[in-house]
Chain A
Amino acid sequence: MTEIPLTHVLILSSLLFIIGFVGVVVRKNTLFMLMSLEVMLNAVGVAFIGAGSVWQEADGQIMFMLVLTLAAAEIAVGLALLIRMQRRYRTLNIDVLNQMKG
């Protein structure tokens, strides 16, 4: 199967990354923000795998596994905070969380 050039992989991951980022910025519901965080991390994973395959090294894949564990840990803590927010503010809308100013 023909060799996929590196730039395509990187551009794909950047696009995926930007989609995730826009998701974080635009979405109002906290759950979907966490989800778009996941998208961003997976985009990074794609980039790592692509780079690893170019250099014929396992580093890319190892890094991707580390990224996966990171994503899992983050989401766990994120969901815990989500539950606390639901109990405290009765809503998941992120804009409730802007009391601190100045």
Chain B
Amino acid sequence: MNPVENIVEVTVFTAEMFVVLSPILFLSFGIVLALLLIAWQRSQKMIAVFSQVILVFTLLLSIHLLSGNILSGEGVQITTLLKVDQFSYLSLSLLCLSALAVVSLSGQALKSQIEVHDEYYLLILLVTLGAAILVASDHFASMFLGFELLSISLVGLVGYFREHKYAVEAGFKYLILSATASSFMLLGIAFIYSQTGNLSFAVNSAAMSWSPVPLQLFNSVGILLFFSGIAFKLSLAPFHFWAPDVYEGAPTPITLLMATVSKVAMFTVLIKCCFSQGYYNNEYFIDVIIIVALLSMFVGNTLALKQQNIKRLIAYSSIAHFGYLLIILLISSEQSIDFAWQSALFYLSAYILANISIFTIVLAYEKQLSQNGQERDVRIDDWQSMFWHRRTEAVLLVVSILSLAGIPLTMGFIGKFYLLNQAVISQSWWLVSGLVIGSGIGLAYYLPIIFTVFKPSEKNMLKSHHPKGVLVARPRIFITLLIIISFYLGVFPDSFSQYIM
């Protein structure tokens, strides 16, 4: 592959590419408009509504693109940097959905402080933009750009509430650790680049087979370093140490943002890179994936066992869930890529839906606690006898916990079923047993939550302990909508997967 040839190629920016890129372009244009809006008139409500409008529009655009047959088959390559297919746009719509949820939920959390929080919404939009670039990227450079945009704006958001006692600590932990991780990733990219001479995903790295063994060593180490950077962001097992502390320290909407947007984007780019680069037949890489997956399943579930703080528990359970998701990377053959994408996206949407619903309830209780004058995180036993006081919230919570645990009647189960399908077909028996034991241990901390929700309330618990409504404008409809979606997709997953077909 002589390097001279690819300079001549002239990248023409056709109209079709423009249409395909419209959601990302609209999003970045929206951010610029938001900046101008702040300059014109600083009002918290204005900026919140504006960012919601931008997100809704990006979501509509990407769904329109999805349902249309523009992105058929292989997907559209826009310059060497980006390549968009229906899978990446599905994850883009998932990202916009969760960002929308974060923005609408954080309206309440911000009221407690005095000054206007317009940069909070800006940073969230920047995070979504970074994630969008990641999702669409097909080149190490664009991936690096998206990655950095994502992490640095997140650092700003994590330490946003200055008065919280852990804000500085969480901010610093996230900053330094994500900086180390990105430098490790970059070193990896550098090593890969030095061996393959090509930074784009599209070119299959089979070319490296001819280079002598010591150089090949650099390439494998490079892949490993690259994977470690991504594993840090996905908080997979050996690199998971930052997640619980940062999740606990960050403000709750931002924890939701981190748990959903950044993880989904990172995982999509990991799948894109692995499938296009054909890493799945590099047996070093497969061993690493198996080890990391097993570790994170075990560590994630075990650490969550006696955890009382909800945010830390969600952190640990997300470690475990992304451990399960790694099974997707072990596809055995070329043609099962589509099915792998489908199961990954289904599982991710189930995970996102569950997290959004849990965080809506956590935020509602947090607001109630702050009104009762207790400035602390929500603990599991705050939710005691929620079922007998606030029935709809309790049903939502139970459904989402069941979905995380992977019990039938919920989306989580169908997701887990797809994963198990994938694992059995690729005959990786280690991961199958890991999944079985992991979900066994997982039940040991999911079930107590459900039982506390059903516990009869002791005398001292006053009724006002349970919040009136959730923060969204009309809480009842929002919650019942979430319940219906998770039940419906749990029982009739076909309606979701025909989107992916």
Contacts and interface: CB of A to CB of B under 8 A. Distances in A.
A37 B141 CA distance: 20
Contacts of B152: 70, 73-74, 77
Given A73-B152, A97-B169, A67 B186 contact: yes
A50 B183 contact: no
Nearest to A41: B183
Nearest to B186: A44
A84 interface: yes
B56 interface: no
Interface in B214-256: 214-215, 218, 244-245, 248-249
A99 B166 contact: yes
Main secondary structure of the interface of A (DSSP, over half): helix
A81 B173 contact: no
Contact of A6 (B3, B182, B194): B194
B168 A85 contact: yes
B441 interface: no
A17 B187 contact: yes
A21 B180 contact: yes
A87 to B, nearest CB: 9
Q: Which of A52, A54, A100 has most chain B Cβ within 10 Å? A: A100
A14 to B, nearest CB: 7
Given A37-B183, A44-B186, A59-B199, A30 B145 contact: no
A44 B214 CA distance: 20
B194 A44 contact: no
Contacts of A70: 144, 148, 152, 182
A41 B193 contact: no
B424 to A, nearest CB: 36
A59 B198 CA distance: 8
B469 interface: no
B175 interface: yes
Contact of A48 (B3, B170, B193): B193
Given A37-B180, A55-B3, A97 B194 contact: no
Contact of A7 (B173, B215, B249, B307): B215
The SS class assigned to the B binding surface is helix
A33 B172 CA distance: 11
Given A47-B187, A84-B162, A100-B166, A54 B197 contact: yes
Nearest to B152: A73
A34 B183 CA distance: 13
Nearest to A33: B176
A56 B197 CA distance: 9
B191 A10 contact: yes
A62 B141 contact: yes
A19 interface: no
A89 B140 CA distance: 39
A34 B189 CA distance: 22
Most-contacted residue by chain B among A34, A52, A59, A60 (CB, 10 A): A59
B168 A14 contact: no
Given A24-B180, A51-B194, A70-B148, A30 B199 contact: no
A26 to B, nearest CB: 13
Given A81-B159, A100-B169, A24 B190 contact: no
B187 A59 contact: no
A99 B165 contact: yes
B193 A59 contact: yes
B321 interface: no
B312 interface: yes
Interface in B455-498: none
21 contacts: A6-B194, A10-B191, A17-B183, A33-B176, A34-B176, A43-B187, A48-B186, A48-B193, A55-B3, A59-B199, A63-B140, A63-B141, A63-B186, A66-B141, A70-B148, A81-B168, A81-B171, A94-B172, A97-B168, A99-B169, A100-B169
Interface of A: 6-7, 9-10, 13-14, 17, 20-21, 24, 30, 33-34, 37, 40-41, 43-44, 47-48, 50-52, 54-57, 59-60, 62-63, 66-67, 70, 73-74, 77-78, 81, 84-85, 88-89, 94, 97-100, 102
- Top-7 shortest CB links A-B: A47-B190, A51-B194, A55-B197, A97-B169, A40-B183, A44-B186, A100-B245
